Structure 1
Amino acid sequence: MDIFEFSIQMEHDAEELYRTLASKTEQTGIKKIFTMLADDEVKHAHAVEVLQKKMDTSAVKGSMKEVQTIFASLKKESVDGILSKDLLVELRRALEIEKKGKEFYEEQFSKFDTEAGRKLFKSLSRQEEYHYMTVNNLIELVEKPEWWVENAEFTPKGDDYY
């Protein structure tokens, strides 16, 4: 399996996990976050496919700005029971997937001899890091709902970050 096939498969696996998580929650905001994460993974896979075909590709924008808004609105709601503690195992799996994705894209970044490849893999690495932060925030929401409402901040790092 080459770098492109591996990247595409990794993105499809993450998409499938987020769609599964979305189907397991009834809370609209959380379901929307999982769906946006899944949709981002589809965009990532498509961008890699375009690069694989040796076409120039621009950086892929994710949906993380909207996630910030959803987290802000959750702070105004009761968070008890928003996510089942049974989902923690799958959330931790998602966290590991995002960590490995970021590390993979960082490692592969230097191997590209084209600006398009480096630009895409840098963008994907940053988006995977932001996905990691999102999932970690969801884990904190499940594990410490009272603390999360009082203390959690979900702040983007700038428009070029995601």
Structure 2
Amino acid sequence: MNVFEVAMKMEDDGKAYYQKLAAQTAHEGLHKIFLQLAEDEQKHHDIFKRLKEKTPTSMQKSTALEQAKNVFETLIASRTNLTIAGDLDGYRHAMKLEANSFRFYEEAAAKEQDAKVKELLLQIAGEEQKHFNILQNVYDFVNAPNQFLAWAEFSNLGEFRNFGRDSTI
């Protein structure tokens, strides 16, 4: 398999994974984010297909980051608490896939002789980095309730306030 065939397979796998995540989430905003990421992966697949066929191609800038920003602004404004703990492993897996894609495309670009193909590989690597950032934000937002201790856990600290102040000593 050549680099374009490997890339098309990676993009197909990414698309299928994002569609799976979209189907698993009940939250409309996250559903949209995952579908946008799946759409981006399809666009990347199509670019690699045209490159393999030696058909001139270019790439449109993704709007996934802007759309994700809007979703997060809405979530924060509404103080929505997402309890999707079961999906955390899925989000971590998706982040790993994006990181691997980013590295793969950067390495392929470093080896590429054709300047136009090299530029496209670097653009796609940049989009994969943006996808990783979106997923990191989703993960952080969904996992936020697990990242702090409840004040009730410190309810026994009152016993230590007077430590050393005992008047009988």
Task: Please tell me the TM-score bracket, short chain as reference.
Answer: 0.7 to 0.9
**Equivalent residues, number:** 146
- The CA deviation string for residues 92-134 of structure 1, in whole angstroms up to 9 with x for no partner, is 1100000000000000002222222011101100000000000
The answer to which of 128-137 and 55-64 deviates more is 55-64
Map of 2:67 onto structure 1: 66
Structure 1 stretches lacking a partner, 5+ long: 148-162
- The CA deviation string for residues 26-56 of structure 1, in whole angstroms up to 9 with x for no partner, is 1111100000001000000001111111122
Map of 2:28 onto structure 1: 28
Q: Give the structure, 1 or 2, with the largest relative contact order (CA under 8 Å, sep 6 or more).
A: 1
Map of 1:106 onto structure 2: 106
Q: Which has the larger radius of gyration?
A: 2
Kindly indicate whether the alpha-carbon contact (under 8 Å) linking 1:44 and 1:60 is maintained by their aligned counterparts in 2. Answer: no
- CA distance in 2 between counterparts of 1:141 and 1:75 reads 9
- The 5 Å alignment of 1:14-93 reads 14-63=14-63, 64-80=65-81, 82-93=82-93
What residue identity is the alignment partner of 2:27? Q
Q: Which has the higher helix share?
A: 2
Secondary structure of the corresponding residue to residue 43 of structure 1: helix
Alpha-carbon distance, 1:77 to partner: 1.8
Q: Does 1:8 align with 2:41?
A: no
Structure 2 stretches lacking a partner, 5+ long: 148-169
Change (3 A) 1:83 1:109: farther
- CA distance in 2 between counterparts of 1:34 and 1:110 reads 30
Alpha-carbon distance, 1:79 to partner: 2.6
Taking structure 1 as the reference length, the TM-score comes to: 0.85
Alpha-carbon distance, 1:83 to partner: 4.9
Secondary structure of the corresponding residue to residue 57 of structure 1: coil
Give % identity: 29
- CA distance in 1 between counterparts of 2:110 and 2:89 reads 33
- CA distance in 1 between counterparts of 2:57 and 2:122 reads 13
Kindly indicate whether the alpha-carbon contact (under 8 Å) linking 1:12 and 1:41 is maintained by their aligned counterparts in 2. Answer: yes
